[in-house]
Amino acid sequence: MQETAWGWLIISYLFLAGAGSGAFVAAAACDLFAPDWSKALARAGSLVSGPLVAIGTMCLFFDLEAGFWQPWRQIYLVSNLSSMISWGVLVLSVFIPVAVLYAAALNDISVVGRFAKRYVRLLAAVGSFLALATAGYTGVLIAVVNGVPFWNTPVIPVLFLASAMSTGLAIAMICAAVIDINTIRSLSNLALGHLVLLTVEGIVLMLFIFISLTRSSEAAASAMALISGAFSPLFWVFVVMLGILVPFALSAVEYYEYGRLPKSLVVAADLLILVGGMSLRALIIFSASPPQII
Amino acid sequence: MPRYGLVIDTTRCIGCHSCRVACQNQQGLPSDRSFNWIKEKDSGKFPAFEKEFVPLQCNQCENPPCLRVCPTGAIYASPEGAILVHENRCVGCKYCMEACPYKVRMIDDHKGISVKCWFCIDLVRAGGEPACVSTCPTQVRIFGDLDDPASKVSRFIAKHRAQPLRSDLNTQPKIFYKRS
């Protein structure tokens, strides 16, 4: 009897789709509200968003069994609108092209970019909505699973949404630094974004653990595995310390000591947020325990 | 149309695994694969130690979580109430395996689709019983029509107030258990 069906491919998808949609929201927000000094981030965020979500979708494809060997079967994937996967397929298949068009518009890529530029506001609005839908959906996907009590709570989509926004901002900042390392000084303004998002993520994570401890014996067993059981070293080191506390501290220094934090540490904070986001999803998937049935 | 169900009397089960072997033979499964299992529950301390054998397989739920989450619509309920899988529609996304609270689903390695107990519906339609039922040497299992109050299975459930596993999950299983 197999107790866990999903593994690293699904975890990678949850992470990549979250980071990709978060990067889109970060790019759109920068482009709409601060186009003068955050151009590099808007360009970088929009450029990575579509590919990240597309790579995540490839992970889903590789995780299929019969649908991988006989890809034409995937036509059936939208047959059941009470299934979150059907909704996910619809959202992803609209979001990825919108994200690519938006990237083309912001980066003036060929004739497509010139065409898309005329609708750049519309693309930003529709894309942001779809990005939030994608990020939230990765949480709803596992939150509706009543075969795993630990996941079966509306806090999960909120947690994944918060984590998606913070990992998205982080990857957009890393890519902005790759495009133009001098931009990093102006990016110190965005450290405030990290402070807010990491705070929200930390609080929601705390709520999730506390609620799980009292919700049911199975959810409590999973939560205990994270905070004091088999997964606790990984949870405290990778999710809490490296994923939230250290980047929070670095971002705080970066924000208050405007622009004086070494560039390597700015990028390090962003990388750590990515490590934390991936670890969070992996641990939530692997700590799932099935209902006590006998 | 009958609505098939099963009642399992764990007080008679000796844990011999005949049902498992019969199922493997009937379904042509390899020795490490099976559509039914015998779970063991220990309680008490010596000398009042007790071990209960609880045979487990797909509960053929009236409100199946696997069917609800299946994106391709491959999972469906037969007219007799057995939960079946369209072999040509399933893509193997494994969402049903996560959704099933009883964790009785698995991937068929050759076909790449999600499979499980299907009440031997081919045997049943031909007038027989599922292999696990006809094989059981201690008559733990009674199979029959739940809609017919005079059937053996309905009378047994009524008489012993047999309950499904985890009825609080609202999956409304069609397998009932008499456990004491």
What string of DSSP letters covers B90-129? -----HHHHH-TT---EE-TTT-SEE---TTHHHHHTT--
A270 and A170 Cβ atoms separated by less than 8 Å: yes
Find chain B residues with C-beta within 8 A of A145's C-beta: 65, 69, 95, 98-99
pLDDT at A1 (0 to 100): 44
How far is it, in rounded angstroms, from Cα B152 to Cα A294? 24
Domain boundaries, chain A: 8-286
Under an 8 A CB cutoff, do B65 and A291 touch?
A: no
Amino acid at A147: G
DSSP SS3 for B35: coil
Cβ neighbours for B70, distance < 8 A, ≥ 6 positions apart = A80, A83, B90, B95, B96
Cα angle: A3, vertex B80, B30; to 5 degrees: 40
B139: pLDDT strictly greater than 50: yes
Q: How does pLDDT run across B76-108, given as a tens digit for each residue? A: 999 999 999 999 999 999 999 999 999 999 999
Do residues B68 and A83 touch, judged by C-beta distance below 8 A? yes
- In terms of C-beta density within 10 A (0-12 exposed, 13-18 middle, 19 or more buried), how is residue A166 classed? buried
ipTM attached to this prediction: 0.91
- For the stretch B5-27, pLDDT in tens is 999 999 999 999 999 999 999 99
User: In total, how many domains does chain B have?
Assistant: 1
C-beta atoms surrounding B28 within 10 Å:
7
DSSP letter, residue A77: G
> Is residue A173 over pLDDT 80?
yes
Q: What is the DSSP string of B52-74?
A: EEEEEE----SS-HHHHH-TT--
In B, minimum Cα distance to A70 occurs at B91
∠ CA B69-B39-B110, rounded to 5°: 50
Q: How does residue A13 score in pLDDT terms, banded at 50, 70 and 90?
A: very high
Q: Cα–Cα distance between A289 and B37 in angstroms, integer?
A: 18
Q: Do B112 and A74 touch (CB under 8 A)?
A: no
pLDDT digits (tens, 9 = 90+) for B140-179: 999 999 999 999 999 999 999 999 999 999 999 999 999 9
Chain B interface disruption, residue of A74, A76, A284, most B CBs within 10 A: A76
Q: Quick check: A8 contacting B, CB < 8 Å?
A: no
Average pLDDT, chain B: 95
What are A20's two structure tokens?
A: 């990709």
CB atoms within 10 A of CB B41: 12
Share above pLDDT 70 across residues of chain B, in percent, rounded to a whole number: 100
User: Which residue of chain A has the CA closest to B95?
Assistant: A5
Query: pLDDT averaged over chain A?
Result: 92
Q: Which CATH number is B78's domain given?
A: 3.30.70.20
| Whether pTM exceeds 0.90 | yes
How far apart, in whole angstroms, are the C-alpha atoms of residue B83 and residue B76? 6
**What is the distance between the alpha carbons of residues A91 and A77, in angstroms, rounded to a whole number?**
12
Encode pLDDT of A112-138 as tens digits: 888 888 899 999 999 999 999 999 999
A222 CB neighbours in chain B (<8 A) are: none
Burial class of residue A112 (count of CB atoms within 10 Å of its CB; 0-12, 13-18, 19+): middle
**Residue contact A6–B98, C-beta within 8 A:** yes
Residues 6+ apart with CB under 8 A from A42: A27, A28, A30, A31, A35, A106
User: Using N-to-C axis directions, what is the helix angle for A263-286 and A246-256, rounded to 10°?
Assistant: 150
Distances (CA, A) of A274 to A165, A169, A176, A198, A216: 11, 10, 15, 12, 31
The answer, yes or no, to whether residue A66 has pLDDT greater than 80, is: yes
Query: Which of B65, B93, B169 lies closest to A67 in CB terms?
Result: B93
Collapsing DSSP states into helix, strand and coil, what is residue A234? helix
**Confidence (pLDDT) at A185:** 67
Copy the structure tokens of residue A78.
Answer: 């939208």
- A-B interface: how many C-beta pairs under 8 angstroms? 126
Instruction: Say yes or no for a CB contact (<8 Å) between A291 and B166.
Output: yes
Mutate: best of B23, B43, B69, B163, partner A, most A CBs <10 A: B69
Q: For A149, list phi and psi in degrees, rounded to 5.
A: -55, -35
CA A290/CA A153 separation, integer angstroms:
14
Which CATH homologous superfamily contains domain A8-286?
Formate dehydrogenase/DMSO reductase domain (1.20.1630.10)
B51 touches chain A (CB under 8 A): no
Hey, what amino acid is at B157? Answer: I
Which amino acid is present at A159? Answer: L
Mean pLDDT of A168-175: 94
Report which of A218, A83, A202 is spatially closest to residue A148, judged by C-alpha positions.
A218
Q: How many CB atoms lie within 10 A of CB A264?
A: 10
Instruction: Indicate the pairing of strand B114-115 with strand B141-145.
Output: unpaired
Q: What is the pLDDT of residue A25?
A: 97
Contact A49, A57 (CB under 8 A): no
Q: Is the pLDDT of residue A2 over 60?
A: no
Q: Which residues of B touch A80 (CB under 8 A)?
A: 70-73
The predicted structure's pLDDT at residue B179:
93
Tens digits of residue pLDDT in A209-247: 999 999 999 999 999 999 999 999 999 999 999 999 999
Phi/psi region, residue A258 (left: phi>0; alpha: psi -120 to 50; beta: rest), is: beta
For the ranges A136-150, A208-222, A249-263, B41-55, the lowest mean pLDDT is seen at A249-263
With beta carbons less than 8 A apart as the criterion, state whether B73 and A79 touch: yes
Do β-strands B141-145 and B4-9 pair in parallel, antiparallel, or remain unpaired?
antiparallel
In chain A, which residue's Cα lies nearest the Cα of B40? A294
Domain that holds residue B131: 4-178
What pLDDT does A184 receive?
Answer: 67
